[in-house]
Chain A
Amino acid sequence: MPGPLVSLRALLIRRAPLIWLVLSLGAAVITARTTYVADLSAFLPSSPSAEQAVLLDQLRSGVGARLMLIGIEGGTPRQRSQASLELGRALRQSGAFDSVNNGDNAQYEAFGKFLFDHRYLLSPAVDAQRFSVEGLRNGIDDTVSLLGTPAGAVIKPLILRDPTGETVRMAEAMLPGAGPRSEGGVWVSRKAERAVLVATTHAEGSDLDGQQRAIDTVRRSFAPSAAQGLRLIVSGSGTFAVSSRTQIKSEVERLAIAGSIAIVALLLLAFGSLRALMTALLPVCSGVLAGIVVVSLGFGHVHGITLGFGTTLIGEAVDYAIYYLIQARTPAGQPGGAGARQWITQSWPTVRLGLWTSLCGFAALVFSGFPGLAQLGVFSIAGLTAAALSTRYVLPALAPDGAPGQGLRRQLGHATGWCAAALPRWRWPLLVLALAAIAVLALRPSPWRGDLSSLSPVGPAAMKLDADLRADLGASEAGTLVALSANDEAGALAAAEAVGQRLDRLVDAGALEGYESPARLLPSLATQRARQQALPDAAELQIRLQQATQDGPLHADKLAPFIADVQAARSQQPLTRAALRGTPLANVIDALLVAGDGTRPWRVLLSLHAGPKGIDEVRLRAALADLPNARVVDIGGELGALYARFLHEAEVQALFGALAVCVLLAWHLRSWRRLLHVAQPLAAAVLIVMAGLSLGGAALGILHLVGFLLVVAIGSNYALFFDYVRNVGSADNDTLASLTLANLTAVISFCLLAMSSIPALYAIGEVVAPGTLLCLILSAALIPNGRAGAGPYGKMP
């Protein structure tokens, strides 16, 4: 190394505490400004297939993600309907919602007029035949037959302008037949004593702060009704995301506090010194800060699950400090700082190797196509590196002679030494256990059957409530979609009409119950133009009307307003999506028609109604075969495929990670025999835990896999330790104590994780806590003594 570099390095090392302080302050600032997210879309792939892209579109920014389902319970039916009307009005005025529907149709009055004025462009019945003498006669008969019934009251004021009933035809096309139950002027549940509303938030589904504000608006607006004893229920994917975030946040705080208390207690027990305790916590804090900062800078935000997982870093990072504080003690009679110097030459290489193996494990995750998983990897790598570096360069300056206190370490060291000496006798029973685990795994069905929902902290009760509200509102989640893309709005709507014609045939044939298409609400430009061209001019219409109404109940003389309206419609500007902005229809169209921009085309999503028989997908695909742009997307299937791909990718990465760990160990040990001995306890621990979970009926998923990777990464430290003391060096009482202490801290922090109510964290905890304990025990039991003669553990008690 050239001279200036050497002196620079020396300067850096000398100034390490100062550098650390500056970095920590900077990190603290970045941490405070970091955005924390909790939506599960981070655990969706960043390079999806075309079908998955449609799906992700929907999950991230689709109208479904902005849907809020609201229920009002308690009180009398009259109170509930009153509360629903008031809440609906308040929410519409709040500006936080693009639409609020509760069965109160007063809001549609202005819009109804708009639609009525455009009926000759929008009614599906308008064509040349409709305006022939025969067509006019039929249309008028149809409409007139509604008079004298309760429905007539609505038709009657319009009939002279709309004798052929285009308003009715338009309404039929736009309104679903299966609406919610209506009572007292508002929507109510069919199954429960509950008024129901459905609202679309203005905020995107992925904008959790916006979602939170929308929920707060609902609660605030409901306060007067709540005071009367009515209860409010809010559900929907945005609500789930917000409550998940809250839950993850409070859980992470709880975990961090509990973990800290446990570790502090343990350290006090081990050192009996407050100063040692503070020193030991330094690498931990550095690690957590570094993890957050690097993830925050690299990804733009930190996922709640990453953070929760990060608390386990406390358990691993504190090990470095424990090793240092115990092993760097300066023996009596030697100059100050001798302990630190000795630790750097003797122990640091082993710690560094342990760090490298851990990094290998996590590096696999960094290259994952799933941002959430990559975050976990980056967080762990940055955190562990920072923890190790601050141990190596900051602790020697702060505590050059290690930690003074003794605590209960002597007893701990003795117990560990005794166990380490006794455990090899259990070698065979433990190997049999490992073999039994293999048998269990071979005989039982694969436990790797977790699904995407296993990542969500939303409980079954909340899911059930959501399903109930959806059933009440008829707002079932889309099962199958037909996705289309086109260069512009007119093209997209024309394509939707082309698909619609083919779907209509399937509906007629009973292969499909129905479907939703934006073209039903907003016909394509071509269709609107064609309808206009089908309208006869005033003189011609007058003549045809005379013939059509002969002997009929409604005479042509009265129909001058009709002729005038038809005349006006012939030169009307065709409707576009832009013309509908701000109307109740805009939302419905936006759900089905996604506007393109410079980079992405216009997209149409037609959602299909399966009906009781389900959808005949083969027929569906065959019917759409001549439309290369149309793509059938089965949402359930795609979600399953997505997770399967996720899991498979993670498995491959985990294998590569494990392989990298092995290569590193082989390079370090330079002996196949010793490599085998080190790998044996790790493999056995993984198998036993996996078999145990399988017997317990757990469904293993992606985070269990991460857990196993952690077991290997952490466990390899223990295996290396026993390999070292049984083949190369020796360990005194204190070193043995440091090992047990390190293991206890890890087991404790992962036990806390296993008690979490968040499935993702729980999954990691239930794998790593038993896994690391087993790694220690199995390492002590299985790694053979490479030397004859005196035992490696100093004096036996």
Chain B
Amino acid sequence: MLRAAAAGALICVMSLASAADAAGDFDIGQLTQLLAQAKPGEATFTERRQVAMLDKPLESSGTLSFEPPDTFVRETLKPRRERLAVVGNTLTMSRDNRSRTLELDSSPEAAVVVEAIRGTLTGNRASLERHFSTAVSGSAEHWSLELTPLEARLREKVSSMKLSGEQSMVREVQVLMPDGDRSVMTIEPVGSAAR
């Protein structure tokens, strides 16, 4: 319980946008091929979480950056500053003047969300299919990818994740919790990724 709490405390949903000029079709092979052309990029995000027991939804916003193959940073600017960075297998969370580092593979609950986003952003079909059952719908213009954890143990934490986007750009990440809570993060590319 403790470990789960500690691990869980360090997780947050992260996502990133990227862009490339490729066209594709709408099965998982086509989609990951399209996504594999991801380039380093920056984006802003706004996130809205619905939690049954709270009086109102939680809203936050900040920036995201991604550098292939395995570095992600999510920096929350509002309502308060917080930084989450994943480099390879290491997850570092900083808030106020506290910082904590965690090995990602030692807490599968944390890893599941990271693998979903990392796998999608890098178009790593093998990695996605190792952890999730996948369902793709839509077209290259407007696709959506639904990921359901294969391990029953993990489905107790995350029922499913739904990523959707346009071309090689991820525009929205939804995470559904088994108790009905959900978070929706929408992504706006900036800088080079906005081309």
Contacts and interface: CB of A to CB of B under 8 A. Distances in A.
A150 B11 contact: yes
B172 to A, nearest CB: 15
B106 A178 contact: yes
B91 to A, nearest CB: 9
B90 to A, nearest CB: 9
Given A168-B9, A172-B100, A179-B106, 12 more contacts: A148-B177, A150-B8, A150-B175, A151-B7, A152-B8, A152-B51, A181-B106, A182-B106, A185-B153, A190-B105, A553-B54, A554-B53
Range class of the A interface residue count: 35 or more
Interface string B86-103: 000000000110001111
A157 to B, nearest CB: 10
A148 B12 CA distance: 9
Nearest to B82: A145
Interface in A382-440: none
A572 B158 CA distance: 37
A477 interface: no
Interface string B55-95: 11110100000000000000000011010000000000001
Interface of B: 1-13, 49-51, 53-58, 60, 79-80, 82, 95-96, 100-103, 105-110, 112-113, 151, 153, 156-158, 175, 177-179, 181-183
Contact of A153 (B6, B55, B110, B179): B179
Interface stretch (A105-113, A245-253, A677-685, A741-749): A105-113
Secondary structure at the B interface, as helix, strand, loop or mixed, is mixed
Contact of A168 (B5, B103, B178): B5
Contacts of B11: 149-151
Contacts of A174: 2
Top 4 nearest A-B pairs (CB, nearest first) are A151-B8, A148-B49, A179-B106, A171-B6
B54 A182 contact: no
B2 A171 contact: yes
A170 B3 CA distance: 11
Interface string A351-367: 00000000000000000
A177 interface: yes
B107 A182 contact: yes
A108 B5 CA distance: 12
A167 interface: yes
Contacts, number: 140
Interface of A: 105, 108-109, 112, 115, 138, 141-142, 144-156, 159, 165, 167-168, 170-172, 174-175, 177-185, 190, 552-555
Given A154-B1, A177-B100, A179-B103, A147 B178 contact: no
Contacts of A152: 8, 51, 177, 181
A472 to B, nearest CB: 11
B114 to A, nearest CB: 11
A80 B76 CA distance: 40
A141 B79 contact: yes
B107 A147 contact: no
A145 B60 contact: yes
Contacts of A151: 5, 7-11, 109-110
B87 to A, nearest CB: 14
A167 B58 CA distance: 21
A554 B181 CA distance: 16
Contacts of B157: 150, 153
Nearest to A181: B105
Contact of A148 (B2, B103, B182): B182
Contact of B5 (A171, A180, A552): A171
A174 B1 CA distance: 13
Contact of B58 (A144, A178, A185): A144
Given A148-B181, A172-B9, A108 B112 contact: no
A555 B55 CA distance: 7
Given A145-B82, A171-B3, A182 B105 contact: yes
21 contacts: A108-B1, A145-B58, A145-B60, A145-B80, A147-B49, A147-B51, A147-B58, A149-B8, A149-B13, A149-B49, A149-B113, A149-B183, A150-B175, A151-B110, A154-B4, A167-B5, A171-B5, A174-B2, A182-B107, A182-B108, A553-B51
Nearest to A584: B2
A147 B100 CA distance: 19
A175 B8 contact: no
Contacts of B9: 146, 151, 155, 165, 168, 171-172
Nearest to A145: B58
Nearest to B50: A148
